[in-house]
Amino acid sequence: MWGGRFADGPSALMREINASIAFDKRLWQQDIAASRAHAAMLSAQGIISQEDADAIEEGLDRIADEYEEGGVTEDASLEDIHMHVEHRLTQLIGPAAGRLHTARSRNDQVATDFKLWVREAIDDVTEELRRLQDALVDRAEEHVESVMPGFTHLQVAQPVTLGHHLMAYYEMLRRDRSRFVDARTRLNECPLGAAALAGTSFPIDRAAVALALGFDRPTANSLDSVSDRDFALDYLMAATQCALHLSRLAEEFILWASQPFGFIALPDAYSTGSSIMPQKRNPDAAELVRGHSGRIAGAMTALVMVMKGLPLAYSKDMQDDKQPVFEAHDLLALSIAAISGMVETVEFQTERMREAAASGHSTATDLADWLVRVAKVPFREAHHITGRAVQMADQLGKPLWELPGDALREIDPRLDEQLLSVLSVDASVRSRTSHGGTAPDAVRGRIAAARKALELDA
């Protein structure tokens, strides 16, 4: 299709390195949609005849049916999806097919096709993330009173509720979704009509094409239009951050499912056995979500490196933009689905969690806070006194709330048995009523707000 000025055809190797059909065939629907919009505009503007436009339209319909049924038949000598469609169109309708490429180039064509594809990918992901958020909110509500250890440095720190813990992931995903929504808004300008790089001398109507393809407006600069891959990078960066969040939840599930923790039983549907150890039950799905996050971040880095330092406008390097996005999207979709399934069905061992929440003197802060509140001791001094109480409890081999009265008074005369009631894990979580805190009532409030927000953007 570009052989006019060449005496010899490309070498086999050139064909091989040049061909992108093996992966860009995933753009066939977008390519046909963009060609339809372009042909309709060309005839509306009197650039091609209505007759030719009708023939093109019919031919494109037929190709769409063929691809739908039998997939795209690959021919490496036809390089990419754009040439495959045009070639087949020529076979079907003859020379009129050659008019479709008036006032456009593969450079603006591929940018348009790819944007349409990424836009759909974003819509899919935001929808799937919603399902996961729904699942998290449901499980959080169920466990709004279930006490578990809250960790810092993976050391038991203070008791929290499982509902609160799950809602932390809801918040992460809320930010992820807003990043995807943001990326979609920024993406939604149509590059078609920028032609090769400089625009075109034909009297095209770019606004009409943009509208027909669901874009908000045409892009403003033809050079930028054909060389911009920000939309793909925006997608990959949002995907990376989302995958990082999923990997953290996956990691917690893996830890929690291990015997020393025993916080959860992962359902059979998301576990595998071992071929040698009959007792084993491995959290493979969670481990793969954790692994996939690395590959998604790798895909993001790949495209960053491909784009780095490219001069304006289009360079063939940019053909390498698609595989990272396709790979990341497939992995992310699978990861979200797997994590959703796990969240929906995981069994929380709340008794075991409650026991663990009480370990490690997790309510020592509550003792210090009591000294500040009731005995008006400055916090720093209260911290010190509490340290001595922890030491004493360890010496006696008791939890803080079982310290005898005389031991308390020995540590500090301002301590008395009244304070013991604030040291249970339940009293501790109930007292954390500050905005965003772990108290069941605070978490209930956040859950109600989350449900409302999820309904609103359904």
Looking only at residues 69 through 128 of this chain, which bind ligand ARG when binding is defined by CB under 6 A?
80, 106-107, 110
Q: Is residue 314 close enough to count as binding ligand ARG by CB under 6 A?
A: yes
Q: Is residue 307 close enough to count as binding ligand ARG by CB under 6 A?
A: no
Cβ-based nearer residue to ligand ARG, 52 or 228: 228
Annotation marks residue 35 as catalytic:
no
Query: Closest approach of Cβ 97 to ligand ARG, in Å?
Result: 18
Query: Closest approach of Cβ 148 to ligand ARG, in Å?
Result: 50
Judged by CB under 6 A, the number of residues near ligand ARG is 10
Query: Closest approach of Cβ 356 to ligand ARG, in Å?
Result: 53
Q: Is residue 332 close enough to count as binding ligand ARG by CB under 6 A?
A: no
Q: What is the 3-state secondary structure (H, E, C) of the chain?
A: CCHHHCCCCCCHHHHHHHCCHHHHHHHHHHHHHHHHHHHHHHHHCCCCCHHHHHHHHHHHHHHHHHHHHHCCCCCHHHCCHHHHHHHHHHHHHHHHHHHCCCCCCHHHHHHHHHHHHHHHHHHHHHHHHHHHHHHHHHHHHHCCCCEEEEEECCEEEEEEEHHHHHHHHHHHHHHHHHHHHHHHHHHCEECCCCCCCCCCCCCCCHHHHHHHCCCCEECCCHHHHHHCCHHHHHHHHHHHHHHHHHHHHHHHHHHHHCCCCCCEECCHHHCECCCCCCCCCECHHHHHHHHHHHHHHHHHHHHHHHHCCCCCCCCHHHHHHHHHHHHHHHHHHHHHHHHHHHHHHCEECHHHHHHHHCHHHCCHHHHHHHHHHHCCCCHHHHHHHHHHHHHHHHHHCCCHHHCCHHHHHHHCCCCCHHHHHHHCHHHHHHHCCCCCCCCHHHHHHHHHHHHHHHHHCC
Query: Closest approach of Cβ 112 to ligand ARG, in Å?
Result: 11
Looking only at residues 18 through 77 of this chain, which bind ligand ARG when binding is defined by CB under 6 A?
20, 24
Annotation marks residue 329 as catalytic:
no
Q: Is residue 319 close enough to count as binding ligand ARG by CB under 6 A?
A: yes
From candidates 32, 172, 212, 318, binder to ligand ARG by CB under 6 A? 318
Cβ-based nearer residue to ligand ARG, 114 or 270: 114
Cβ-based nearer residue to ligand ARG, 107 or 349: 107
Choose, from 274, 315, 359, 421, the residue flagged as catalytic: 274
Q: Is residue 306 close enough to count as binding ligand ARG by CB under 6 A?
A: no
Which residues of this chain interact with ligand ARG, rule CB under 6 A? Answer: 20, 24, 80, 106-107, 110, 314, 316, 318-319
User: Would you please indicate which residues are annotated as catalytic (active-site) residues?
Assistant: 153, 274
